[in-house]
Each structure stands twice: as C-alpha cells, then as structure tokens.
C-alpha cells in the first residue's frame, strides 16, 4: 500500500482530473464531498485505505457535460469499486459512496470463520 499522510488513515488519488475542465466551484465542491465521505469511511474501516477517483467527461462537444465518476476503495484484503454518471459532478461523486463497507467486512469475517471451521 502507498504512504498515507500523517493524521489520516486515507489517501485520495485522482485519475483524469487534468483532462477535464472544471470551474473553481466544481473542484472545491468535489474535494469537500470526497473529504467528508472519506472521513465517514475512516470511522467504519479504521484501517489505512486508498481512494482512487477516476473522472471522465461524456459529450465534450456539447454545451452541457455529463460526468462519469469511478471510485475504487482499496484497503488491506479488499477492493471495492463503484461508478456513477450524472450531469452534476458533485452529485456523481456523492452517489459513488453507496457501497456498504461494514456489511462487506462482516461478510469477509463470517467467510473466514466458516473456512476455519472446515
């Protein structure tokens, strides 16, 4: 796993951020949503994790742009991924955080217990 900044248990990386044109407001709103959601995940996971945010513009030639956001969550033993498309970048980023980490961790623990019994 990559180096995590001190004071946090997470790191956020961007893919495709330089290839899309965002207003200052869009960029700040996206970062605020990511930080807020990463803090929530930090409380649930309680292990170092990496968020990889992949951004794409759909329909670059039109006046109104649709955004495709893919978020990959990597932490020891697990990788979760989700994608959402929306006309509003902030909404697309926010809706990508629908995966339920707690249920995934509980399922992994029960699978591990079942394998140990066999």
Q: Residue 4 domain-assigned?
A: no
Tell me: pLDDT of 23 over 70: yes
Q: Residue 2 domain-assigned?
A: no
Q: Residue 41 domain-assigned?
A: yes
Q: CATH number for the domain including 100?
A: 3.30.160.100
pLDDT tens, residue by residue, 79-108: 888 899 999 989 899 888 876 655 565 566
Q: Residue 85 domain-assigned?
A: yes
Contacts of 10 (CB under 8 A, 6+ apart): 4, 38, 41, 42, 48, 49, 50, 51
Q: Residue 26 domain-assigned?
A: yes
**Quick one: 103 exposed, middle or buried, by C-beta within 10 A (0-12, 13-18, 19+)?**
exposed
pLDDT tens, residue by residue, 49-82: 899 999 999 876 777 889 999 999 888 888 888 8
pLDDT at 52: 93
Range of the domain at 100: 10-117
pLDDT band at 118 (very low <50, low <70, confident <90, very high): low
The tally of domains found in the chain comes to 1
């Amino acid at each position: 796993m990559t180096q995590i900044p001190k004071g946090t248990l997470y790191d956020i990386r961007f893919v495709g951020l330089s290839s899309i044109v965002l207003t200052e407001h869009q960029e700040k709103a996206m970062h605020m949503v990511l930080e807020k959601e990463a803090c929530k995940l930090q409380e649930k996971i309680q292990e170092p994790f990496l968020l990889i945010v992949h951004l794409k513009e759909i329909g670059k030639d039109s006046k109104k742009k649709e955004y495709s956001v893919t978020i990959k969550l990597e932490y020891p033993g697990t990788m979760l991924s989700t994608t959402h498309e929306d006309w509003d970048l902030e909404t697309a980023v926010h809706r990508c955080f629908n995966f339920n980490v707690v249920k995934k961790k509980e399922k992994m623990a029960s699978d591990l217990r079942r394998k140990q019994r066999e």
